[in-house]
Amino acid sequence: MGENRLLGTWKLKSYVVTTAAGARSTPFGDSPTGYLSYTPDGRMQVIGAADGRMAPAGPSQSDEERALLHDTMFAYAGKYSVEPGKVVHHVDIAWNEVWTGTSQIRHAELNGDVLTLSTYISDPTNGTESHYALVWEKLVT
């Protein structure tokens, strides 16, 4: 991948998880929303949300509502570096504090205006590894 091909803003098109057993799911639904930006000064930021998120019933959120809203989104920002076939997000701030200070490595495949970022993550509840793939489409200004 050329060093400038990631620059710009990308819109989330799909978010698919495939387990080692081959089970496929779309944890954020069929039409997730989100944006990913890469800037020339080496910074990135991303936010994503599940389709059909429910607004809280009132002005203050219950613990269940707050947890559901947290579980149906992701957001983080930091520096990034590009290596052959991958991009590394060096996280400075995140919706999930566990990610702050980490480097998130993503396999990167760029085909025209479509960017697929993927990784394998072990499920902390059962230790099985799943493949996470997010497909982004470049926004044209």
Within a domain: 98: yes
In eight-state DSSP terms, residue 68 is: H
Within a domain: 101: yes
Backbone torsions φ then ψ of 7, nearest 5 degrees: -55, 135
Instruction: Tell me the whole-structure pTM to 2 decimals.
Output: 0.89
Within a domain: 14: yes
Within a domain: 60: no
Q: Residue 92 sits in a domain of what CATH number?
A: 2.40.128.490
Of the CA atoms within 13 Å of residue 57, those in its CB half-sphere come to 4
User: Taking Cα atoms as reference points, which of 74, 92, 85 lies closest to residue 36?
Assistant: 74
Along the 141 residues of the chain, how does pLDDT read in single tens digits?
Answer: 445 789 999 999 999 999 988 999 999 999 999 999 999 999 999 999 999 998 888 888 889 998 999 999 999 999 999 999 999 999 999 999 999 999 999 999 999 999 999 999 887 677 789 999 999 999 986
Give the containing element (helix H, strand E) for 70.
Answer: helix 63-71
- What is the domain range of residue 99? 8-52+67-138
Tokens of 101: 């200070």
Within a domain: 57: no
Helix (H, G, I), strand (E, B) or coil at 40: coil
Within a domain: 88: yes
Within a domain: 37: yes
Number of domains in the chain: 1
Of the CA atoms within 13 Å of residue 26, those in its CB half-sphere come to 14
Burial annotation 74-86 (CB, 10 A radius, 16+ → b, else e)? bebbbebebeeeb
pLDDT, residue 3, reads 53
d(CA 120, CA 128): 10
